[in-house]
Amino acid sequence: GDSVTQMEGPVTLSEEAFLTINCTYTATGYPSLFWYVQYPGEGLQLLLKATKADDKGSNKGFEATYRKETTSFHLEKGSVQVSDSAVYFCALKVSNFGNEKLTFGTGTRLTIIP
Amino acid sequence: DGGITQSPKYLFRKEGQNVTLSCEQNLNHDAMYWYRQDPGQGLRLIYYSQIVNDFQKGDIAEGYSVSREKKESFPLTVTSAQKNPTAFYLCASSIDAGAGNSPLHFGNGTRLTVT
């Protein structure tokens, strides 16, 4: 079945450090890939997405490139801020009519220290 | 503003009681979903609905029930048959369940505690 494997956390970085959160996937079809972010006490918000190989999703300084050859969708940011502290989820969705669902990774908790 | 409203934010129940979690959306989305979030396990799909009056079981449907009588509403009932009901429950919707790249929009969740 479809699955997502994320880098285990928690991850703690200093402000302005470079961030990478690894994500790899297994899918039976051609998935769309997503990164969601969850701030304390809230639901998830879409951060970025990519729908086909070599697409790059970007938002709020975060980027991720859909790499079909390595089945990866790593999240990166060049200079993190305290406000980026949250839990980040990698997810995939395969277009399979009659069985639509988003498969999530376990999440990576990120803490940024001033 | 359009969005998804989950209520209440915190819910406490005694073991053996059924409890219903509310989820309402005004985004005019066709598809709605219920996820359960537990520490270290990410999100797991309980039920989803692609259209009014139709719904499908997700990965962990046992002990839960849903209804979809209106497009805007997708309530989840946690029954006494659910062995470990204490969790954070998230409702979500998407514009079109048939499009693989349509993202999910989430509510702010309901934290259920059963003692």
Which of A43, A89, A93 lies at the smallest CB-CB distance from B109? A43
**Quick one: pLDDT at residue B102?**
76
Q: Where residue A97 falls among pLDDT bands split at 50, 70, 90? A: low
pLDDT over 60 (residue A101): yes
DSSP line for chain B: ---EEEE-SEEEE-TT--EEEEEEE-S--SEEEEEEEETTTEEEEEEEEEETTEEEE-TT-TTEEE--SBTTB--EEE-TT-S---EEEEEEEES-TT-TTPPPEE---EEEEE-
Q: Which residues contact B21 (CB under 8 A, 6 or more apart)?
A: B6, B11, B75, B76, B77, B78, B89, B91, B110, B112
**Quick one: pLDDT at residue A102?**
83
Q: Do B42 and A89 touch (CB under 8 A)?
A: yes
Nearest CA in chain B to A37: B106
Indicate the Cα dihedral angle A80, A84, A85, A86, nearest 10°.
-130
pLDDT over 60 (residue A98): no
Interface membership of A100 toward B (CB under 8 Å): yes
**pLDDT for A11-60, tens place per residue?**
999 999 999 999 999 998 788 999 999 998 888 999 999 999 999 999 99
**pLDDT for B33-51, tens place per residue?**
999 999 877 899 999 998 9
Q: Do B42 and A107 touch (CB under 8 A)?
A: yes
Residues on chain B touching A49 (C-beta within 8 angstroms): 101, 103
Q: What percent of chain A has pLDDT over 90?
A: 77
Nearest CA in chain A to B10: A41
**Quick one: pLDDT at residue A44?**
92
**Quick one: pLDDT at residue B5?**
96
Residues of chain B short of pLDDT 50, as ranges, are none
Tokens of B49: 């609905």
